Structure 1
């Protein structure tokens, strides 16, 4: 027999014989019916684990990371309210089952078995993944195995106090709610977890409300690597700003009592707490894992002898809540019931096509209150003397600042966060005066941790805000890219559109920043963003377009619940001149607040048919310089600006270039992994007209005079264009 069957038979034999493990007497605080309810949740969780393995062997199920040994989380669930948002560890089936018992109308065994079977009728993911989660139970689905859900749990907890001060239209949580996030002892060592815990403490010591309960389920091992004895307690007991609680998860009475104390502390004090819960791991890590291949059999058997269900039977019997015989009957009847449900569930339909699978990539739109934009009086108060300058051409950085001001005036649910965005006004002054105009609640100066910045945004998006986080430089995104890839972009997909975390992520990026910082401040690769399904990537090339595209980006986040990444070319922030010094050729006047550029709408500059230059960002600036010389040589040229890099506006690009004889793609990103690859494929597959591309070298950017040596230039664009059309240099 495998270990699951051994544990199952041990339970039957030991409960029947009364050979139960020893332990403390039942603590006060749990009424008999509550204690029995917790036990029933534990038993159903165990029965589902057993059945999931049988389903996998029969080719009917596809996931076997179980919750056996962690059933004490059923007691934690009873210590919380069912409307407290919970971000769960993947071993927390008992928590979800126990919470379902507190909410009328739930069919939790049926629903969870649909998930095991990956049926399209699975009410949380629609058959896309076996995940814990439920809209009715306030449990957003998680697929994380490395605690990457902890930063957004911090953000969600922060949003509760923020919503009390500035209630967003689509607020989900109550003012007295708390947030719970759970994870394993191995995951606690991950930088994502450590960053989130550090951020929680950093926030708490500043007396900022943060009603967050961390629950670390400590079974002492991560797959095959043991956690050092006492490591979690030693590393967490004295963390500043976070109160430490410890409980035995094998004892439902003790676990409930301590979890209740911790939850009450968090709810009453609005401060984070850390609940360290002892658990055991039964069966190994997952179905294919055999723990006796890397652990002594005696250790495996010792954990099995400490089966939490055996402890629960003893405690219930001692408390007079449930005799042993009745406990055994509940267990056998539950196992039989789960098998009966399994027989029906495996006949239910599955996703059939790629379109079916991708249907939830894009979240549904939501009804939003109509906005006529900021009032004239509000604008006059906010802008002050800047109003007089709006009729005059300005560089991009100032126009973005004004656009952000108008957007924040129009939509009170917009909140910005990032390093130095508040009092300093950003490294490049793009967010200057916004702190004075909107206050620190809406212009949040964060600690230096990109994972926490994005987690704050994701969590606030969960509670109805429209976050606009800023990553100071594109290269810094790589410290936190999984917050986009593994958390923000996947939430609608794995929740079948029931949960969303809209945001507009602003990133200062790309190259051509003269002599400053090398590749850390001049990062010309967007590849890490381009392959994330479902997100929108925008890149403006002049200030007026930046303002109008920002308005569309906010509309997409606010109304369509999209995740938008808005890449702002650093080198164009201060750009004033185009062809000659002091010609002011790249400055623009501020577009009226009701003007915007729709998603997928490309820009066209010029009407020439000899050559179309397809580009974006700094590439448009350089191509415009080259265009003047091409026109002087009699080569009629148009520039087509992508503006929206994802989803690629393929039809609009083909329409904008269809009358042109040649197509030259100018891409400031590296040759490998750049937009130019997809664009070359698009134009080559669409027609047989000559097409070529020029892109940056596959190299990092240097500091100093060679800052642009690896990048396209006006001269290299001109040379490539002349070669493509067959003209002499």
Structure 2
């Protein structure tokens, strides 16, 4: 076992993939000599060479376009986008080509490729470096969207994504890249895509979160317990597409109340899909409307307002308390 950070677990997964399969290549801006903006690929070009770990021009559409060409011709490209919001120029490639190649070719071709991208706020970065637009990718049929929250999951999910026969978008919460360590197996293992994780069991209310919001969910749950005696279950979804609808149903059937937490804007955020899933599968169990604790419906702000924008433990605890205190007819 190795005691490592989330970013260290990602580097380990990439090294293992490169060692085990010569078809695996890494491409992106500064991933080679510099090891990536967050050093996720540090040392890999030196170890595996420039044909396996290659720097590209500053052209995200070209990075994704080249990756799909490589993928349909037998390679397994791992494309790094420096920050997720930089993928907007490549959105057309992802939506028009990457996601549709299996259907378009009637199964003759698939695109076994991974797109890695840091996302989210909390690091005092400039504009377009902190967006959390995972919902616009999760909406696209044919794309899998995975968001780890721990080093163990980061390594296992990334190796599962690399082994997947279809395209996987792997979004990395940069706020917690190096915020904590945990024991991670040194060899090859996978974590199944599409399966949520029960982080903490509870009986009164469930908080659903992913990525950097999972630690915030735990902090909010702890605050609600200390201040109000509320027993809170915390679920890390880990995968947004496919979504573990059974885990959502089972937890809400158990607790009867739910809070959805994400740092993206509230309007049409992925939290709305979770609310709809609860309505579909566990409406009869609900004892209160599902509460949402989210970012605000504005572009991600600059430094001075970042702390005010990001959901924190106090807002999560407030959402939990609101769910617990709801009374039928109180809003009429």
Q: Give the structure-1-normalised TM-score.
A: 0.43
Residues in 2 aligned to 1:594 and 1:395: alpha-carbon distance in whole angstroms: 17
Residues in 2 aligned to 1:599 and 1:391: alpha-carbon distance in whole angstroms: 23
Match of 1:337 in 2: none
Residues in 2 aligned to 1:448 and 1:702: alpha-carbon distance in whole angstroms: 25
Match of 1:647 in 2: 242
Residues in 2 aligned to 1:678 and 1:590: alpha-carbon distance in whole angstroms: 32
After TM superposition, give the deviation of residue 416 of structure 1 in Å.
0.5
After TM superposition, give the deviation of residue 565 of structure 1 in Å.
0.3
Q: Secondary structure at the match of 1:630?
A: helix
1:489-542 CA distances to partner (integer Å, 9 max, x unpaired)? 1111111111222201101112222x2213x11012223212211110000111
After TM superposition, give the deviation of residue 622 of structure 1 in Å.
0.5
In terms of fraction of residues, the more strand-rich structure is 2
- Residue among 132, 135, 148 paired with 1:540: 148
Match of 1:151 in 2: none
Match of 1:467 in 2: 77
1:37-68 CA distances to partner (integer Å, 9 max, x unpaired)? xxxxxxxxxxxxxxxxxxxxxxxxxxxxxxxx
Match of 2:330 in 1: none
Residues in 1 aligned to 2:302 and 2:179: alpha-carbon distance in whole angstroms: 20
After TM superposition, give the deviation of residue 684 of structure 1 in Å.
2.3
The answer to whether structure 1 residue 565 and structure 2 residue 164 are counterparts is no
The answer to whether structure 1 residue 706 and structure 2 residue 300 are counterparts is no
The answer to whether structure 1 residue 637 and structure 2 residue 241 are counterparts is no
1:169-214 CA distances to partner (integer Å, 9 max, x unpaired)? xxxxxxxxxxxxxxxxxxxxxxxxxxxxxxxxxxxxxxxxxxxxxx
Match of 1:626 in 2: 220
After TM superposition, give the deviation of residue 648 of structure 1 in Å.
1.9
> In the TM superposition, what are the counterparts of 1:63-102 in structure 2 within 5 Å?
none
**Contact 1:600 1:652 (C-alpha < 8 Å) held by counterparts:** no
Match of 2:268 in 1: 673
Residues in 1 aligned to 2:22 and 2:219: alpha-carbon distance in whole angstroms: 41
- Residue among 19, 29, 33 paired with 1:423: 33
The answer to whether structure 1 residue 404 and structure 2 residue 14 are counterparts is yes
Q: Secondary structure at the match of 1:604?
A: strand
Match of 1:192 in 2: none
> In the TM superposition, what are the counterparts of 1:207-606 in structure 2 within 5 Å?
391-392=2-3, 394-513=4-123, 515-518=124-127, 520-556=128-164, 561-576=165-180, 587-606=181-200
1:320-347 CA distances to partner (integer Å, 9 max, x unpaired)? xxxxxxxxxxxxxxxxxxxxxxxxxxxx
Pairwise CA RMSD of aligned residues?
A: 1.5
Match of 2:321 in 1: 722
How many pairs are equivalent? 321
Residues in 1 aligned to 2:77 and 2:215: alpha-carbon distance in whole angstroms: 30
Higher-Rg member (1/2): 1
Residues in 1 aligned to 2:173 and 2:15: alpha-carbon distance in whole angstroms: 20
Residues in 2 aligned to 1:657 and 1:403: alpha-carbon distance in whole angstroms: 34
**Contact 1:604 1:641 (C-alpha < 8 Å) held by counterparts:** yes
Unaligned stretches of 5+ residues in structure 1: 1-389, 577-586
**Contact 1:668 1:711 (C-alpha < 8 Å) held by counterparts:** yes
Residues in 2 aligned to 1:706 and 1:512: alpha-carbon distance in whole angstroms: 11
**Contact 2:195 2:243 (C-alpha < 8 Å) held by counterparts:** no
1:339-378 CA distances to partner (integer Å, 9 max, x unpaired)? xxxxxxxxxxxxxxxxxxxxxxxxxxxxxxxxxxxxxxxx
Q: Give the structure-2-normalised TM-score.
A: 0.93
After TM superposition, give the deviation of residue 606 of structure 1 in Å.
1.7
The answer to whether structure 1 residue 611 and structure 2 residue 215 are counterparts is no
Residues in 1 aligned to 2:108 and 2:199: alpha-carbon distance in whole angstroms: 41
Structure 1 segments, 4+ long, off by >6 Å, are: none
- Residue among 661, 675, 685 paired with 2:256: 661
Could you say if the C-alpha distance between residues 656 and 412 of structure 1 is closer, same or farther in structure 2, counting changes exceeding 3 Å?
farther
Q: Secondary structure at the match of 2:111?
A: coil
Residues in 2 aligned to 1:533 and 1:607: alpha-carbon distance in whole angstroms: 32
1:136-184 CA distances to partner (integer Å, 9 max, x unpaired)? xxxxxxxxxxxxxxxxxxxxxxxxxxxxxxxxxxxxxxxxxxxxxxxxx
